[in-house]
Amino acid sequence: MSTTNIPTLELHDLEVSYTVRGIDRQVLRDISFSIAPGEAYGLVGESGCGKSTVAFAAMRYLPRNGKITGGEIFFEGKSIVEIDEGDVAQLRRSAISMVYQNPSTALNPTIRIGKQIAEVFELNGASKSEAIERAQAALVQVQISDPAQVMRRYAHQLSGGMAQRVVIAMALASNPRLLVMDEPTTGLDATVEAEVLDLVRELRRDTGTAVLFISHNLGVIRNMCDRVGVLYAGTLVEQGATADLFNNPSHPYTVGLLRCIPRGGLHKSTDRLDTIPGTPPALGTKFDGCVFAARCALVDDKCRTQPPQMVTIDGAHVARCFHSDKAGSLPRSVEQIEYVPEAKGHSTKVGDTLLDISHLSKVFTQDGHRIRVINDVSLTLGVGETLGLVGESGSGKTTIAKLVLGLVEPEDGGIITLDGKGLAKTLNRRDVQDIGGIQIVFQNPDQALNRRHSVTRIVGRAVERLRGFSAQSSIKRAHELLLGMRVEASLHGARPVQLSGGLKQRVAIARAFAGAPQIVLCDEPTSALDVSVQAAILNLLVDLQKQDQTSFIFISHDLGVVRYISDRIAVLYLGRVVEFGTSQRVFNGPFHPYTEALLSSVPNIDGSTRKRIPLTGVVPSPSKPPSGCVLNPRCPRKEGSGYEALCETEEPNLTEVEPGHFMRCHVPMAKLKQLQS
Amino acid sequence: MTDETSKQTKQMELSERLAVLKKNKAFIIGASILAFWVFSAIFGKLVARYDQDFADYESISSSPSLKYWFGTDSSGRDVYSRVIIGSRIIIVISFLATLLGAFVGASLGLTAGYLKGRFDMVLMRILEAISAIPVIIIALLAVAAIGRASSVITILIIGIIFTPNVARTVRAAVLGESELEYVAAAKLRTEKTAHILFREVLPNVLPTLIVEFTVRLGYAIFAVATLSFLGAGLEAGSPDWGTQVADTWSLIFSEIWWPTLFPSLAIASIAVSINLISDALLEVFEL
Amino acid sequence: MLRFIVKRVGLSILTLVIVSVIIFLMTSILPGDIAKQTLGRDASPEAYEIWNKEKGFDKPLVVQYGRWMGGVMTGDLGTSFKFALPVSEVLGPAAAKSAQLAIVALILIAPISILGGIAAAMNRGKKVDRMLTVGGLSAAVIPEFVWGVILILIFGVVFRVFPVSAFPNEENPNLINSVYHLLLPSIALLFVLFGYISRITRAGVIEALDSDYMRTAVLKGLSRKTAVFRHVLRNALLPTIAVIATQVPYLVGGLIAIERVFNYPGFGNTLLKAVIARDFPLLQSAVFLTGVVVVCFQLIADILFAVLNPRIRQRVTE
């Protein structure tokens, strides 16, 4: 490690352009920051702001249509903008490494893991056998428990978390002085993400490597980095020590971003989320003044005509804003909807049970194996309430949604009752009223909206079929619905591709409301959206619910979002409901051991530290569930509870441990409370 | 960031794509050549200089000259005029055969891809068996079985033989589409299967189908020309290009190359023109 | 793995059974009276009847099909009408001749096409790429006989450097002489197949070049050349070799016109003679033989692909 004051990485007025269809589009402008040896620098921003471009520029690995048009990149004081490919390769081999999103595709599918890691050592001059030995040691370093076995595997035989450990091992193999991490945990489940982040933190402590950490997730950045830069439209708008920046955000964009996030404790009943009006500028937009002027509540003429320079807030904390002193008191941005609700076919009042799911199961057959993906799920949902479904990938959230919708047929014995009336198992045996009564907003509007149809047609056709309106009145109602969701009239003739992600999701919501539904399922409706857009969609859903008592089943992996919007929560693990109760009960404890582990793994945006309760091992395959309680091999509370034998032999039932709070656990409430305090 | 740039190209509107197509050099060349042959096929008499059966016994097998641009054949007929007139037969037969194959294939592919299950399995087995025999050979077998060559039979045979290829392409596209959630959304507003297939899925599969059509059209030209060259495609003595080559090619050893070369080049030019068009479509629609 | 192979072989046999039924039905049900075609229109009805009885065409279709398939199993393919010889004795030598031509052609085609595909992929979007892909596919849509005619014209008539017949006149031609004669027809086949094989290769190489693991390799510090060799070609080419096997139907189909143009006494020419003579025993077996060849190559391609791809190999083994 270098002991001088020379920064490991320094960017000076960096400018990068992409050539798209013959036109140069600037994606980075005047980016300047530096990372000291051993320091972790976080770069945060929404999609399209250019954060990955910074990462790849630092690696000298821009796409073929990208080029550095100005500025400098210094690595340990030496410029790397002009050096030739051979020197770049040498640098990557010995000094700078990178870890990126989607670890499973980052590994070669046809070469064994061991050989892929050994390759790095061989590049640096190790003999073949020595390289293999060191590769195994590298796997030990990233805490893989059975390295010899993993060495012989192929990429597809690894779980996402395991693959990311392998990629990290490979990156560390060269003893790099700089590690560039581009969204290293995006796409991983919360508990796996927490493990990978813990590992990175430990490795940093052990190796003293400087890190450029890139993420859209403010919580992750806050927990991982010493200093943070906020990127908007290819421009660094604010920079400072992590605590300073998060506690005293001084650029209106940073302020808005932090306010958008449904953080711990906020709930729809009392708090409304802020939004950032408008949408981020398209790639290569030219600016006369401040890049954020078009969406800023503090904007004045100067902002529109003159680009602001970085001003010092406090020590090393800087913001690129003329009005940074006023940023903290940025006016709140609140938008209201103009939705005209329709009378519902049924007469029920808020709180009455609307949907009753009991003993729902689903078995899929794959290659001759029977896989029980949903096992004996029972849930209830009240009128005007939101039921949040949380759980990691493979827990069966989406399958439950499909069962409720009738898209997938449940096993015999499962009963779904809507407003006291039993529903047919499959869609084609349900009547129009039942079908229109339960609708869905899918995660990915690009797939959920037919790209060949206009927005009016997409919504209008749903009105026509579900409400039995004439073609003309359907179109009228469609326009009404779209305007209610704040989709301007000028966009009603557009095709989905012409709309931004947020607008597309509004169209999808309008379609879901076309049949005056009693229940709308929301399957990760904001996961594909940036946080500033997410807030607006969440507000819209909350408003809709307030106006006509629509009930929601809200599926999300984001616990903050679920906590904000839900009245009741069901926690799923391996196709089973392990905990079910009011939002408050589930989030305040005592918790089911799995819920406890899940909650403790979420990186906290408030900066408070909290002990993580780890889940050991990997999620078992639903085709071979463990005997006894399905959580028992990984359970953080089994040992020392006094119920070990029972946990390993008998599956617990979902029992009411206190009024309105259900748990599937052998360990009694009192004992859990004691263990968790 | 590379994701975003590629996303931008994917989000092109149809009108934009057509504009790009119009600037594509390969497309312009291909379309011009094809347009010439289609014009000749329709208004052959205007472009030709002599009647197809007109024979000048004074100049038999005469080399290309001002009077006979492409020379004359061994019966003294004008090669140029016969090449022009011959375009109609190959274009009409190839087009109808492709249309038949595309229609039947697309219908089967749509149904198989959407319904899946047993129907799909049985159909795919049969189609696989058909495509295990090379096109030319199965056509020859059919001609032998029926006992004579005729244009109607050629259309039917080539159309049927193309069915598996079209069906497979369309089926794959439909399988991909029916995974998308807009299909589930259509079911959730009580749409009938036929509506989902034809109004929801088909428009999204259409670009694939159009490109497949042009690719098949190219193959149809290939197959019709080859069959008629082998004497198994058309009625004997028909003035089409393949037959012309078959009737004259032994003369090239006596260095009388023109009656063979020009119809050969005609076949090559129309096949290449269609290929250039389908290639450009493929590129513009990013399939 | 064994289970996978058994299943694949089973499916191939099923395909061949369907192929045989299609061939049989085409010759039996399609309009056109074989007896009339063979004996001519002027023969008496009695003569037709006797002929049909003699050949077994009076029996029910199922019996006829059973006899044919039974014969195929035991190696007895019946007697050719035209050559008055057992079909196997006519077909065998002809098929061997065609195999020679096909092998010479493949030895020429496979490496050139694969190299062309790699060259196009490595120069993606540049002039070389456009020329190879557009040129290659344009050449591929021009029928073999047109290529044959053009090649003969250029090399056989104008320059007189290559023999125009694919078959040497000498009694006992040596290997070099044979190959020399096969070269021109092989080049014609090359023109037709180059476009497809190089396009498949190009797509495979580009997919690997664009992959995340290629990025990983480069960012590990491998030089681009090493990364391409170790990570791209390995992943892209092994499946390509398997895919070449699926191009065999085109090759077999192409042989017919090529053998006719170059006057080569192979399988294609024999089949053509059988068509003209309406020699159905010979024709049925010849067409079925092409089906067998094609299905076998597809089977080999499938198995090869599974063996080379760890993902499939594993799923298959489990």
Residues in CB range of C10: below 8 A, 6 or more apart: none
pLDDT over threshold 80, residue A335: no
pLDDT over threshold 60, residue C67: yes
Backbone angles phi, psi at A184, to 5 degrees: -65, -20
pLDDT over threshold 60, residue A3: no
pLDDT of B66: 72
pLDDT of A545: 92
- Tokens at A515, concatenated: 């049949």
Please compute the mean of the pLDDT values over residues B246-271 and round it to a whole number: 82
Please write the tens of the pLDDT for every residue from A531-557: 888 999 999 999 999 888 899 999 998
pLDDT over threshold 70, residue A297: yes
Residue C167 and residue A188: Cα distance in Å, rounded?
66
Residue C152 DSSP symbol: I
Cβ pair C27:B219 closer than 8 A: no
Selection from B145, B149, B284 nearest residue B228 by Cα = B149
pLDDT of A169: 93
pLDDT over threshold 80, residue A93: yes
Question: In chain B, which residue's Cα lies nearest the Cα of A428?
Answer: B190
Q: What is the DSSP string of B203-244?
A: HHHHHHHHHHHHHHHHHHHHHHHHHHHTT-SS-TT---HHHH
Q: By the 8 A CB rule, do C108 and C190 touch?
A: yes
Cβ pair A89:C223 closer than 8 A: yes
Give the range among A157-166, A245-254, B43-52, B113-122 with minimum mean pLDDT.
B43-52
pLDDT of A343: 61
Question: pLDDT averaged over chain C?
Answer: 82
Cβ pair A59:C234 closer than 8 A: no
Query: Which pTM was predicted?
Result: 0.85
pLDDT of C79: 78
pLDDT over threshold 50, residue B6: no
Give the range among A364-373, C70-79, C170-179, C265-274 with minimum mean pLDDT.
C170-179
Q: Please report residues of B whose CB lies closer than 8 A to that of C256.
A: 136-137, 140, 230
Q: By the 8 A CB rule, do C98 and C266 touch?
A: yes
pLDDT over threshold 60, residue C63: yes
Q: How open is the CA angle A216-A218-A220, to the nearest 5 degrees?
A: 90
Question: pLDDT averaged over chain B?
Answer: 83
* Among the partner residues C218, C221, C311, nearest to A90 by beta-carbon distance: C221
Selection from C306, B75, C236 nearest residue A108 by Cα = C236
pLDDT of A347: 53
Please compute the mean of the pLDDT values over residues A221-248 and round it to a whole number: 94
pLDDT of B243: 82
The model's confidence at residue A72, banded by pLDDT at 50, 70 and 90, is very high
The model's confidence at residue C34, banded by pLDDT at 50, 70 and 90, is low
C-alpha Rg value of chain B to the nearest Å: 23
Quote the minimal CA–CA distance from B14 to chain C in Å: 23
pLDDT over threshold 50, residue C187: yes
Quote the minimal CA–CA distance from B84 to chain A in Å: 41
Quote the minimal CA–CA distance from B55 to chain C in Å: 25
Please write the tens of the pLDDT for every residue from B45-100: 777 777 767 776 777 767 777 776 777 777 777 777 788 888 888 899 999 999 99
Q: Please report residues of B whose CB lies closer than 8 A to that of A63.
A: 1-2, 5
Question: In chain A, which residue's Cα lies nearest the Cα of C232?
Answer: A108
Q: Please report residues of C whose CB lies closer than 8 A to that of B129.
A: 15-16, 18-19, 22, 291
Question: In chain C, which residue's Cα lies nearest the Cα of B220?
Answer: C141
Quote the minimal CA–CA distance from A391 to chain B in Å: 22
Please compute the mean of the pLDDT values over residues A58-72 and round it to a whole number: 91
pLDDT of C112: 94
pLDDT over threshold 60, residue A87: yes
Q: Please report residues of A whose CB lies closer than 8 A to that of C216.
A: 106-108, 167, 170
Bridging pattern class, strands A576-582 and A568-573: antiparallel
pLDDT over threshold 60, residue A315: yes
Cβ pair C134:B279 closer than 8 A: yes
Please write the tens of the pLDDT for every residue from A508-527: 999 999 989 999 999 999 98
Torsion of the alpha carbons at A439, A441, A447 and A449, rounded to the nearest 10: 70
Which of the pair, C170 or A157, is modelled with greater confidence?
Answer: A157
Bridging pattern class, strands A40-44 and A96-99: unpaired
- Substitution target in C275, C279, C299, C300 with the highest count of B β-carbons within 10 Å is C275
Please write the tens of the pLDDT for every residue from B125-170: 888 888 888 888 888 888 888 877 788 888 998 898 889 989 999 9
pLDDT over threshold 70, residue A2: no
Which of the pair, B82 or A573, is modelled with greater confidence?
Answer: A573
Please write the tens of the pLDDT for every residue from C286-299: 899 999 998 998 88
Please write the tens of the pLDDT for every residue from A416-451: 999 888 999 999 899 999 999 999 999 999 999 998
Cβ pair A85:C213 closer than 8 A: no
Q: Please report residues of A whose CB lies closer than 8 A to that of B203.
A: 450, 452-453
- Substitution target in C146, C278, C279, C290 with the highest count of B β-carbons within 10 Å is C146
pLDDT over threshold 90, residue B114: no
- Substitution target in B123, B124, B136 with the highest count of C β-carbons within 10 Å is B136
pLDDT over threshold 60, residue B175: yes
Question: In chain C, which residue's Cα lies nearest the Cα of A89?
Answer: C221
Q: Please report residues of B whose CB lies closer than 8 A to that of A515.
A: 189
Please compute the mean of the pLDDT values over residues A236-259 and round it to a whole number: 94
Does any CB of chain B come closer than 8 Å to the CB of residue A372?
Answer: no
Please compute the mean of the pLDDT values over residues B215-243 and round it to a whole number: 84
Question: In chain B, which residue's Cα lies nearest the Cα of A459?
Answer: B189
Half-sphere exposure of B157 (CA within 13 A, CB side): 29
pLDDT of A200: 93
The model's confidence at residue C180, banded by pLDDT at 50, 70 and 90, is confident
Residue B77 DSSP symbol: B
Question: pLDDT averaged over chain A?
Answer: 90
Please write the tens of the pLDDT for every residue from A455-503: 999 999 999 999 999 999 999 999 999 998 989 999 999 999 888 889 9
Does any CB of chain B come closer than 8 Å to the CB of residue C152?
Answer: yes
Quote the minimal CA–CA distance from B199 to chain A in Å: 10
The model's confidence at residue A378, banded by pLDDT at 50, 70 and 90, is very high
Does any CB of chain B come closer than 8 Å to the CB of residue A105?
Answer: no
Give the range among A617-631, C121-135, C234-248 with minimum mean pLDDT.
C234-248
Q: Please report residues of B whose CB lies closer than 8 A to that of A53.
A: 1
* Among the partner residues C36, C271, C278, nearest to B137 by beta-carbon distance: C271
Does any CB of chain C come closer than 8 Å to the CB of residue A94?
Answer: yes
Give the range among A284-288, A341-345, A451-455 with minimum mean pLDDT.
A341-345
Question: In chain B, which residue's Cα lies nearest the Cα of A284?
Answer: B5
Question: In chain A, which residue's Cα lies nearest the Cα of C315?
Answer: A367
Chains that touch B (3 or more CB pairs under 8 A): A, C
| % of residues, chain A, pLDDT over 90 | 63
Does any CB of chain B come closer than 8 Å to the CB of residue C272?
Answer: yes
Does any CB of chain C come closer than 8 Å to the CB of residue A84?
Answer: no
| % of residues, chain A, pLDDT over 70 | 97
Backbone angles phi, psi at A237, to 5 degrees: -100, -25
Quote the minimal CA–CA distance from B130 to chain A in Å: 28
The model's confidence at residue A377, banded by pLDDT at 50, 70 and 90, is very high
Quote the minimal CA–CA distance from C217 to chain B in Å: 18
SS3 at position A25 = strand
Question: In chain A, which residue's Cα lies nearest the Cα of B10?
Answer: A497
Q: By the 8 A CB rule, do B83 and B148 touch?
A: no
Residue A461 and residue A452: Cα distance in Å, rounded?
14
- Tokens at B198, concatenated: 């034809």
CA A271 vs CA A259, A551, A566: distances in Å: 11, 19, 13
Question: In chain C, which residue's Cα lies nearest the Cα of B272?
Answer: C138
How many beta-carbon contacts under 8 Å exist across A and C? 77
* Among the partner residues C31, C271, C294, nearest to B140 by beta-carbon distance: C271
